[in-house]
Every structure is written in C-alpha cells, then in structure tokens.
C-alpha cells in the first residue's frame, strides 16, 4: 500500500471553478484514480460526473488522510505541506508561514 494525492477540478453551483485534493491509500495509481473518482463524484454529487477533471495520482510520503491533520517526516523547511483535508501550508525559514486560505486552523501548543 502507498499514499497517493489526487486533485479534482469541478464547477460549483454558482459556476465557479473549484480545485480540491485528497489523499488515498492504494496499491497503485490506477486504484488511487478509481478511489478518487468514486470519492469526489459522491462528495460533490451536485456536479455531473463527466464535468470533473482529475490529476494523475502522485505518490506522497508522511501524510495521513485525517481532517486538518498533517504528518511530517524530517525537515519541512522550505517545503509545501498538504494537510489531510487538502489545505496547503508553505514554510519559509523559522517564523515565516504562508497559510493561504484556511478555515479552523490553530497554530501553537495545546496546554
């Protein structure tokens, strides 16, 4: 088993183009594609199945498919981090973090 990231593009109910991503555990790219198509077309059932565009599955390391969770193996300095719900975090240096557009994100320690 390996972890693959797949992106899906679709039009929302207002006609805006949307891009989302999700990771899938699969034996190979073909299985990841099948799982991605089934997931996205069910999750966004208001869209016609043939309106979706899917990326080629990309094998990724050290990420788990958990809501707003992220797992990092080794240094993340200068890396783009993709969370389990498809949000991205880009870190440059020790204190500069570009969060882009996120909801419900908390940074810091829980005491």
The CATH number linked to 19 is: 3.10.20.10
Cβ-based burial of 6 (10 A; exposed 0-12, middle 13-18, buried ≥19)? buried
Same domain, yes or no, for 16 and 56? yes
Same domain, yes or no, for 104 and 79? yes
Whether residue 29 is predicted with pLDDT greater than 90 in this model: the reply is yes
pLDDT at residue 99, rounded to an integer: 59
Tell me, what DSSP letter sits at residue 103?
S
pLDDT at residue 84, rounded to an integer: 62
Residue 8: Cβ within 10 Å count: 22
For the whole model, what pTM was predicted? 0.54
Q: What is the pLDDT of residues 41-87, one digit of tens each?
A: 998 888 888 888 999 998 886 544 444 555 555 566 666 666 666 66
Residue range 2-29: mean pLDDT, rounded: 88
pLDDT at residue 1, rounded to an integer: 86
Same domain, yes or no, for 56 and 71? no
Same domain, yes or no, for 14 and 43? yes
In whole numbers, what is the pLDDT of the chain averaged over residues?
Answer: 75
């Amino acid at each position: 088993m390996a972890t693959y990231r797949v992106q899906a593009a679709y039009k929302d109910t207002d006609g805006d183009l949307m891009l989302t991503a999700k990771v899938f555990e699969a034996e190979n790219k073909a299985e990841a594609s099948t799982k991605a198509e089934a997931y996205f077309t069910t999750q966004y059932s208001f869209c016609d199945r043939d309106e979706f565009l899917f990326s080629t599955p990309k094998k990724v390391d050290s990420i788990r498919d958990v809501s707003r969770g992220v797992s990092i193996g080794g240094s993340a300095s200068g890396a783009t981090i993709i969370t389990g719900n498809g949000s991205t975090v880009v870190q440059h240096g020790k204190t500069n973090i570009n969060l882009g557009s996120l909801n419900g994100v908390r940074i810091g320690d829980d005491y």
